[in-house]
Chain A
C-alpha cells in the first residue's frame, strides 16, 4: 500500500501558485520524498525529490516539514500544461531498485 495520503483533486487558476499537499506520517529517517506527475496518455514524469531540506528545480519547489511527516509541492506559476495527476511517493535508500509505490495521486486541474 502507498505510504502517502493526498487529496484526490485540486483546482488552480492559470498563473497562480499550485500547492499540492502530501502526508507521510510514517516516513522513516532514510526515506526520500519523490514527486512525479502524469499527463494524460503519457508515462509519469519525475519532478523533484528531497530528504530533509527544501528543494527547488526548474519545475517546482518541494517543502518538507521539520518533522518530515508532510510535504508540499509548489508549482509557482501554474499553466494549463500542468494539468495532470501528481503522485507523492516515499522510498528509502535501502529500497533503491525496488518498486516505487504509486497511490492514486492528486488530479490537478489548471483553468484559465
Chain B
C-alpha cells in the first residue's frame, strides 16, 4: 500500500497521560498536514510541514501539542497531559507541491482515533 499510513488506528488513554501518533506520508511528498476531526464536524487544520520545516500552526494547536517531521519524511504528533476535549480523530495528509501551482491534491490517511477517559 503506497498511501498515507497512520499509527496507531486507535488509542485509549487516561486524562493527563501523553500520547504520540505517527504519520508516514506518500513517498516523495514534500508537504504534510495534520488535522483533527470531532463527530459531526469537518476536519480542522492543526499544522503543516514543507519538508522538515513547520510552516503554519493553527490557533487550535495549544502548547500541549507538538509536531515534528525530523527528516522531511514521517511525522509525529504528540499531545502532552491529555484532556477529555482532546478526544477526536487525528488525520494526516500529504501532497506533492511542484514549482507551478495548478491546484494541490491532498491524500489523507485513515486517521488515529483518540479517546481520553
**A interface residues, Cβ below 8 angstroms from B:** 2, 32, 34, 36, 41-46, 49-51, 85, 87, 91, 93, 96-105
Residues of A within 8 A of B31 (CB): 97
Q: Which residue of A lies closest to B42 (CB)?
A: A102
| Contact for B43 among A32, A44, A51, CB less than 8 A | A44
A45 to B101, CA, bound (A): 20
**B interface residues, Cβ below 8 angstroms from A:** 4, 31, 33, 40-45, 48, 50, 55-56, 58, 91-93, 97, 101, 103-111
| Contact for A102 among B40, B43, B50, B103, CB less than 8 A | B43
Residues of B within 8 A of A51 (CB): 103
| Contact for A46 among B48, B58, B106, B109, CB less than 8 A | B106
**A-B CB contact pairs (8 Å), 10 listed:** A34-B103, A43-B91, A44-B93, A51-B103, A96-B97, A97-B104, A98-B48, A99-B33, A101-B45, A104-B42
A107 to B24, CA, bound (A): 29
Q: Which residue of A lies closest to B49 (CB)?
A: A97
Q: Which residue of B lies closest to A32 (CB)?
A: B103
A25 to B55, CA, bound (A): 29
Q: Are A98 and B56 in contact (CB under 8 A)?
A: yes
Q: Are A97 and B50 in contact (CB under 8 A)?
A: yes
Q: Are A49 and B103 in contact (CB under 8 A)?
A: yes
Contact A49:B105 (CB < 8 A) given known A43-B110, A96-B97, A97-B56? yes
Q: Which 7 A-B pairs have the closest CB atoms?
A: A43-B108, A102-B42, A99-B45, A93-B101, A49-B103, A46-B105, A102-B43
Q: Are A46 and B107 in contact (CB under 8 A)?
A: yes
Contact A43:B45 (CB < 8 A) given known A34-B103, A49-B103, A99-B58? no
Q: Are B105 and A99 in contact (CB under 8 A)?
A: no
Residues of A within 8 A of B55 (CB): 97
Q: Which residue of B lies closest to A45 (CB)?
A: B108
> How close is B6's CB to chain A, nearest CB, in angstroms?
8
| Contact for B97 among A45, A49, A97, A105, CB less than 8 A | A97
Residues of B within 8 A of A42 (CB): 110-111
A36 to B108, CA, bound (A): 10
A60 to B91, CA, bound (A): 24
